[in-house]
Amino acid sequence: MKLKNLFSARNILILVLLAIATVIPIVIRDDNYATLLATNVLLYAVLATAWNIIGGMGGQLDLSAGAYLGIGAFTSGTLVLRWNVTPWAGMILGGILAMGLALVVGIPLFRFKIREVWFALSSAALVEVLRVAFTMWEEVGGPTERLLPYYEWSFYHLRFNTYMPFYYILLVMLLIALLVNYWVRRTKLGYSLLALSEDEDAAEVLGVDARGSKIKALLIYAFMAGVVGGVDVCIKGNLSPKTFNGVQSTEVAILGIVGGMGITFGPMLGAILLVSARELLRARLGGGLEGLYMGVYATVLILVALFSPRGIAALLQDAYAKIQARFQRKNNYERPADTPGI
Amino acid sequence: MIFQTALQSLLDGAMLGAIYALITLGLALVFGVMNVVNFAHGDFVMVSMYATFWVATLLAWDALATPLITFPLLFLIGIIIYYTIIRRTLRHSYVIQIAATVGLQYFLRASAQVLFQAQPKALQSSVVQGSFLVGNITVLNSRLLAAVISLVVIVLVSIFLSKTWPGRAIRAASDDLDVSSLMGVNYQRTYALSFGLGTALTAIAGGLLMTFQQVSPVMGVSFGLLSYVVLAFAGLGSTIGLLLSGVIIGSAETLTMAFWDPRARLLVIYLIFIVVLWVRPRGIFGRK
């Protein structure tokens, strides 16, 4: 029985997908640009999966991925530039500082019960505030970008002459993010968050600790985004206040929504499908009319939002359930004894 | 000297704020009446500015005259967008509305890029030029005219909302959709009207902005956030409050630029925004 569960269709599918994801950079290793695109897709996938905890499960439409990402990037980047500290340590510290920011922002936001649109807008404003603040803070940020030292191949400095190592680092992070999602979903926190996203007032009446759950979810998300920021700065090779990117922050949330809010693999699916589509469109149409690829991408986003509001993952889940139901019906015909009354 | 700078900044801010209030009035019509969260409102301002640019260069008109064409044009665009996109999101949560309107935002920005390229565009200065002095304070004629026009339009819209039948239908639908439907208000048409009007109001704001500002495809985002800031400050349901909030936000912006750092403009505005949300989630002047 145990063994059968281990080799269920779902687990085999996961293994196959993981194998494909592992092989991709080896297949395209000669094309550094393609590797960068694949790395970029993974970056969005990690961010969207982390976002799923606060945004998907908790239903709090956070638009500040760029704020936590930027804090992580600046922690890691500044440490390596000033004191030659390895980004591996910078990443963790960046994640912790991002959690600190999440506490500073989250406690008053949730204390004053700022919800829905206003929560979304104030989190979007946070990204802009930090971008301006870091542009003005000349010692660390400043308007010009700071270049990270160049190394052919250095694990200590996390600098390589190819994007392939970053791909694998982000792949591991994606797996961790998925596991965290999977784990949170099955704990009290996950159930509280799901209840909050359905109806906050009703959940609170029934004894769900709204503030505590939301803060915890925000902290987990901020930590992951901060760590990703530490990698992001090494991928780009420069440190700039533009890392606090409002457009990117909004996009992370949109990918989560059209991927499937609250479904563990939904935001990842949304990010992989849509960011790949966007980059392919850019490669195909980018040479001709500037902005054309964006128009096609926007149309796809609108269509998914309008016609599959529960997300791409929910569509797949429905299809899977239908197939399963068909198989079960077949089994029932083979065992007429199980269906009394016919 | 400091006093004079402060007074000058306050005046400039107030004149700028009147335009902000006009932009926000369009958003309030959509958000307050239909309860639809429109993240593309700022991009309508951007589209309006491009429409102004296009009409002004094609017909050699002054920017101030372009709303004669751009107002109906944007109204039409608004109606089309309402029937193709917004109507389908009414049943869904605000999350889907945000996803759909962010998609719309990307679409509008991409269209502007395809049609006008990424370089900023500006018009030659308007017929209204020059300035005059009041004491030691300089008043730019173009800014003053923009503020006056904004004020007149805001007053006209509030008269429309309180005195005419379609306007009353809009307010009725905003107060209680079910009861107003029973009283014979066709909510689909009312919603289409308020979305179209909300969009068309940006045409006037776009025309006024083009008299002293240039336009680029990416500038919609900041107008979008800004109009939500003014709306959060004002709260829903008060036109005077909207105007005052616009003026306060505009003055905060110019005062920051004069006394601290031009770059800190957005910093101050968004900090005000966050503090207002904490302290008065229904806005300072809000009724609802």
The answer to the question of residue A7 being in a domain is: yes
The pLDDT value recorded for residue A286 is 66
> Domain for residue A45, yes or no?
yes
- Chain A residues with beta carbon closer than 8 angstroms to that of B260: none
Q: Is A335 a member of any domain? A: no
| Size (chain A), residues | 342
- Give residue limits of the domains in chain B: 22-216
Could you tell me how far CA A125 lies from the centroid of its own chain? Answer: 20
Interface test with A, best of B222, B226, B267 (most A CBs within 10 A): B267
Residue A7 domain boundaries: 2-310
- What ipTM does this complex have? 0.86
Distance in angstroms (rounded) separating the CA atoms of residues A71 and A30: 33
Q: How far is A263 from chain B (nearest CA, A)?
A: 15
Q: Is residue A339 part of a domain?
A: no
- Residue A340: the pLDDT is 44
Distance from C-alpha of A155 to C-alpha of A137, rounded to nearest angstrom = 30
* pTM of the predicted model as reported, rounded to 2 decimal places: 0.89
Inter-chain residue contact B110 with A113, CB threshold 8 Å: no
Q: Residue A245's domain is classified under what CATH number?
A: 1.10.3470
Pairwise pLDDT comparison (A286 vs B248), residue with the higher score:
B248
- For residue B280, pLDDT over 80 is answered with no
Out of A133, A247, A299, whose CB is closest to B107? Answer: A299
pLDDT tens per residue, range B154-181: 999 989 988 888 888 888 888 777 888 8
- A316 occurs within a structural domain: no
Interface-testing mutation among A104, A114, A301, with chain B (most B C-beta atoms within 10 A)? A301
| A112 with B277: Cβ contact below 8 A | yes
- Minimal CA separation from B114 to chain A, in Å: 5
**For the residues of B36-101, what is the DSSP string, one character each?**
---TTHHHHHHHHHHHHHHHHHHHT--GGGTHHHHHHHHHHHHHHHIIIIIHHHTTS-HHHHHHHH
pLDDT above 90 coverage of chain B, percent: 33
Q: Tell me how many domains chain A contains.
A: 1
For residue A120, tell me if it sits in a domain. Answer: yes
> For all residues of chain B together, what is the average pLDDT?
87
Cα separation, A299 vs B108, in Å, equals: 10
Task: Spell out which residues of chain A touch residue B264, defining contact as CB-CB under 8 Å.
Answer: 132, 136
**How far apart are the CA of A132 and the nearest CA of chain B, in angstroms?**
6
pLDDT tens sequence across A138-160:
888 778 888 888 887 887 888 88
**Per-residue model confidence (pLDDT) at position A255:** 92
- Residue A253 domain-assigned (yes or no): yes
* Residues in chain A with pLDDT values less than 50: 1, 335-342
- Establish if A211 belongs to a structural domain: yes
